[in-house]
Structure 1
Amino acid sequence: MSDNDLHDAVQPDMGAAGSDKPRPRRCYTRRMTVEPVLFFAMFSMALQGPLTTQYLWERLSRDLGYNGSRSEGCTNSTNPMEKDVETLTSHWSLYLNLSGLLVGLFSVMLLGPWSDHVGRRPVLIVPFIGLALQIVVYLVVMYQELHVGYLLLGRIISGLSGDFNMVLAGCFAYIADITDRPSRTFRVAVLEACLGIAGMIASIIGGHWRKAQGYINPFWLAFAVNVFAAIYVYFFVRESVKDKKPSKLFTLRHYQSIFRLFGLPGENGRRSKLFLYSLALLLVVTVHMGAKDLMVIYELSFPLCWDSDLIGYGSAAEHLTYLSSLAGLRLFQLCLADSWVAEMGFLSNISGLVVISLAVTTPIMFTGYGLRFFSMATTPVIRSKLSKLVEEGEQGALFSVVACVEGVSFILATSIFNSLYPATLYFMKGFAFLFGAVVLLIPAGIIGLVEICSQKPLYSQFAEIS
């Protein structure tokens, strides 16, 4: 801990000028806090995601009477039945994502501001209960071989509890509560690295496990992980909101607090920066989730025709970017401002997506994964910059907005990419990934422009020194 950090930790933070009432002191710490919580949530989601897509592929193939390209030696790239299976799988993935996310938007906007009053722990427990119930529905569908449409019920239940987005919002708000401004970007990146570690482990386990035992047992593990995570939060996570007070959950005041966050002008162009950074995050997450949703379908079909082992390794390579981005972020922060670190992340992401869009062999596909080694450095920078624009008592409201932005991103991703992919199969199979690379040029321009406009002129810096 630096001298400045130590000073801030022991001195009470005074309120506005002229006020003698100290604000609640932050609990600065370097110890592990909610990182395991996000690890458990991501492990469960990463274990389910590729398996759900593969389950849809197999069930829909069986319904259509299609044996798959593997029985044909993976040589028939024009089989119309394969195109039908790809299209149906893409559309059902769209329906599952939309059903949970649309419901989750309203839940997150209530739970996030509510956590500013009652604390972060309740809003970290509730989503895990919903995620566990979702898996119960999925297991019933698999055991009874019900129509895949019944999977929608599980997604709606999870959405009512805030879904995975509420876990993200609660964890990032928690980190904002306990960190100071200089260290926040790296702590947010550490939290995001937990996403990568969990996703990488779950992807490798899921691919091999499905091949050996099918779908049922991996989903039971995901259920157990969600239950354990809720227990962990209840017993081991300390509350980060020091000035807790009772508050109703179902009230319009929570929505009003979000409106005040973005509707009222602030100092140094706060409102415009909030909008611009939120737009940048919207586009980044849209491309990230849109490409991620299509990866499994892209790898299952001709000409790659990967089996579950290779799909697991590919998903692990995708999640490995969280760790490599964390290491790169820590290194480049020594000589570059956060915004320029984010620009390097955009360059990595764009180049990787371009190569993936042209991949026709396994080595080229993994080359695309490799080029994206620094692609996840952008989101922690954006989250940190958003967090630094608001007050301590607004972190829950802010990250509920961020969660809603990400929810809208998921909706846009599934709507655009899952519709674009089947529509462009006949002239360029990887066009959706190329489209994502072009879209990323917009947030890259936004962050660069905000950074340049925020820099003080040289003469004003000399004036301050004098």
Structure 2
Amino acid sequence: MDEPDTAAILPGDVLSATSADGPTADRDSSSGKDEAAAPSRCSGPVLVSVEPVLFLSMFSVALQAPLATQYLWDRISEDLGYNGSKRSECSNGSVAPDPLQKEVETLTAHWNLYISLGGFTLGLLVVPLLGSWSDLAGRRPVLIIPNFGLALQAAVYLLVMYLKLPVVYFLVGRLLSGLLGDFNAILAGCFAYVADASDRRSRTFRVAVLEACLGLSGMLASIIGGQWRKAQGYINPFWLVLATSLAAALYAFLFVRESIVPDPSAKLVTTRHHKAVWHLYATGGSSSEGGGGFHRCKLWLYTLCFFLVVAVHFGCRDLYVLYELSSPLCWGSALIGYGSAAQHLAYLSSLLGLKLMQYCLKDSWVALVGLLSNIVGLLVFSVADTTQLMFTGYGLCFLFMTAMPVLRSKLSKLVDPSEQGALFASVACVETLCYLVGSGVFNSLYPATLHFMKGFSFLFAAIILLIPAGIIGILQCLDQRRGHRAAS
């Protein structure tokens, strides 16, 4: 079979009868197990890719996340009789902190923790199944089913708001979404789809384009959500959350073509999917045969880096709203929306920065620059006591997302094309664990450290990011040394 021209591939195209890294025929001739394991690619171009699905899904998630936290704050304040005396604290620095405000902060952080733990615990079990299953059953089901889960969660939240139900029903909605895969399953499906459609040379940038879709939709949702909540309250924005989740599912069903040939007999509930993930990390995958233990070690270390970076990112995400709502900042919904938009704008600046830095730096050094940007921004957040300083922190984080697409790409390049499904299932599992651990650690750490340093959680996050920075730098130096030895 003739090899297609990979240089002409558009964002929605796939490689006909080729792997993500090159023609499968070359590998099949040398390994019978690769031929048996490799998923079949659909022939012909896929004219519409997954970027719109990810954009709509992220819009739904980014619109509801800060609004849900603010709603919890308002409901808990109402239940405790807290009447917003924080405003006087902001205008007069000599006023002692209101003990009710600290109680509201603590309870809101704890409810965020319970809701996150509930959804992510279920996701930890469901997402690996869906991700690995998509390697056989196709990518489209994993793009459709979790979006229905997000829509169901939004419907439950709307019932809570209309009927003034106890906030514990927020946890019920989150559990229903987690049972259907949650947003992490959508991420797994989208990145696996891109792995099907890209070669090694273009993969890092293609992954960064998906990350930029996350940022652009998050930025728009943050601006719209903050202004809309200020003008009309919570209910109408949550109707948009419901609509965008359903629109994403409908778009995937009608317009996204499969990137692999689905197997109608593929079963979802089976131990095969978990075994595939275990085999990948226990042996290092088929491509480790020439690299031995070093190859397997790199797979584990890059996964650890990914875990730490994502855990810090999502662990801090909930804290930004709490930090901004309380004194000394005391932001309203509009400023919170602008702050969240500034954070998501870094997705776009990171995409541009990654593309420019790739002309003169290897991917590992690009990731280190991104981690440095994140660390400096977190250090500023830890001492921010004015609006100007808080936005300075957001500005310094303008490259903080470059590390994530680099790590996803490096993990993808470490395994064979026949193992991409198992890899992205494991990455989705790790990402779910990141949400779980990040939310648990930071939502517990924040109220526990309010009495001696309000921004200590951000300082702790900056210290944690030094670990992946060191690992990435050391691995890159080792790779360069091995390359020099091989050349000589």
**Smaller-chain TM-score bracket:** over 0.9
Query: 2:69 maps to what in 1?
Result: 53
Give 2:404's aligned amino acid.
T
1:458–1:256 distance in 2 versus 1, CA, 3 Å: closer
Secondary structure of residue in 2 paired with 1:66: coil
Q: Which residue of 1 aligns with 2:470?
A: 445
Matched, 1:43 2:62: no
Q: How far is the alpha carbon of 1:204 from its aligned partner?
A: 0.3
What is aligned with 1:153?
A: 172
Count of residues in Structure 1 that have an aligned counterpart in Structure 2: 462
Q: Which moved more, 1:105-114 or 1:239-248?
A: 239-248
Within 5 A, what are the aligned runs for 1:231-310? Answer: 231-242=250-261, 244-265=263-284, 266-267=288-289, 268=291, 269-310=294-335
Q: Secondary structure of the equivalent of 2:401?
A: helix
Find the counterpart in structure 2 of residue 142 from structure 1. 161
**Partners of 2:392 and 2:96 in 1: CA distance:** 23
**Aligned pairs for 1:307-322 within 5 A:** 307-322=332-347
Determine if contact 2:41/2:259 at 8 Å carries over to the other structure. no
TM-superposed CA distance for 1:400, in Å, is: 1.7
Q: CA separation in 1, counterparts of 2:31 and 2:420?
A: 22
Separation (CA, whole Å) in 1 of partners of 2:426 and 2:59: 24
Quote the Cα distance in structure 2 between the aligned partners of 1:299 and 1:29: 47
**Offset at residue 375 of structure 1 (A):** 0.4
Q: Which residue of 1 aligns with 2:242?
A: 223
Q: Displacement, 1:435?
A: 0.5
Q: CA deviation at 1:300?
A: 0.4
Are 2:48 and 2:256, in contact at CA under 8 Å, matched by a contact in 1? Answer: no
TM-score by length of 2: 0.90
Q: Matches of 1:441 and 1:125 in 2, distance apart?
A: 37
From 105, 111, 123, the equivalent of 2:124 is 105
Q: Distance in 1 between matches of 2:122 and 2:43?
A: 34
In the alignment, which residue of structure 1 is the partner of 2:80? Answer: 64
- Give me the identity figure in percent: 58
1:13 to 24, 36, 39: 24
Q: How does 1:27-426 map to 2 (within 5 A)?
A: 33-72=49-88, 74=90, 75=92, 76=95, 78-242=97-261, 244-265=263-284, 266-267=288-289, 268=291, 269-426=294-451
Decide whether aligned partners of structure 1 residues 270 and 80 sit closer, same or farther in structure 2, where only a CA change above 3 A counts. Answer: same
- 1:246, CA displacement in angstroms? 2.1
Q: CA deviation at 1:73?
A: 5.5
Taking the aligned partners of 1:373 and 1:34, their CA distance within structure 2 comes to 25
Taking the aligned partners of 1:368 and 1:32, their CA distance within structure 2 comes to: 37
Aligned counterparts of 2:282 and 2:79: Cα–Cα separation in 1? 51
Which segment drifts farther, 246-255 or 300-309? 246-255
Code of the aligned partner of 1:51 = L
Task: Report deviation, 1:272.
Answer: 1.5
Deviation, 1:333, is 0.2
Give how far 1:19 is off. Answer: 6.5
**Which whole-Å CA distance do the structure 2 matches of 1:159 and 1:316 have between them?**
26
Deviation of 1:455 (Å): 2.1
Deviation at 1:462, TM superposition (A): 3.6
Q: 1:459 to 1:36 in 2, by over 3 A?
A: closer
Shift of 1:85: 0.3
Residues 264/79 of structure 1: CA separation in 2 closer, same or farther (3 Å cut)? same
Q: 1:408 to 1:4 in 2, by over 3 A?
A: closer
Per-residue CA deviations over 1:122-176 (Å, capped at 9, x if unaligned) read 1110001111111111111111101101111101100010000000000000000
User: CA offset at residue 457 of structure 1?
Assistant: 4.3
Residue type matched to 1:106 in 2? L
How well do the aligned residues superpose, as a CA RMSD in angstroms? Answer: 2.2
- Amino acid aligned to 2:191: F
Deviation at 1:29, TM superposition (A): 7.0
Structure 2 residue matching 1:302: 3-state secondary structure: coil
Letter in 1 for 2:393: G
- Output the amino acid matched with 1:13: T
Secondary structure at the counterpart of residue 402 of structure 2: helix
Shift of 1:393: 2.9
Cα distance in 2 for residues equivalent to 1:370 and 1:39:
23
Alignment CA distance shift 1:426-1:231 (3 Å): same
Residues 354 and 71 of structure 1: CA distance in aligned 2, closer, same or farther (over 3 Å)? closer
Q: What is the CA–CA distance in structure 2 between the aligned matches of 1:459 and 1:325, rounded to whole Å?
A: 31
Q: Distance in 2 between matches of 1:253 and 1:30?
A: 29
Length-normalised TM-score, structure 1: 0.94
C-alpha offsets along residues 244-271 of structure 1, whole Å, 9 cap, x if unaligned?
4521111111111111111124232332
Listed one character per residue, the Cα deviations across residues 400-448 of structure 1 (whole Å, up to 9, x for unaligned) are 2111111111111111111111111111110100000000000111111
Contact 1:348–1:373 (8 Å) recurs in 2: yes
Q: How many Å separate the matches in 2 of 1:149 and 1:39?
A: 29
C-alpha separation between the residues in 1 aligned to 2:423 and 2:234?
A: 38
Could you say if the C-alpha distance between residues 85 and 19 of structure 1 is closer, same or farther in structure 2, counting changes exceeding 3 Å?
Answer: closer
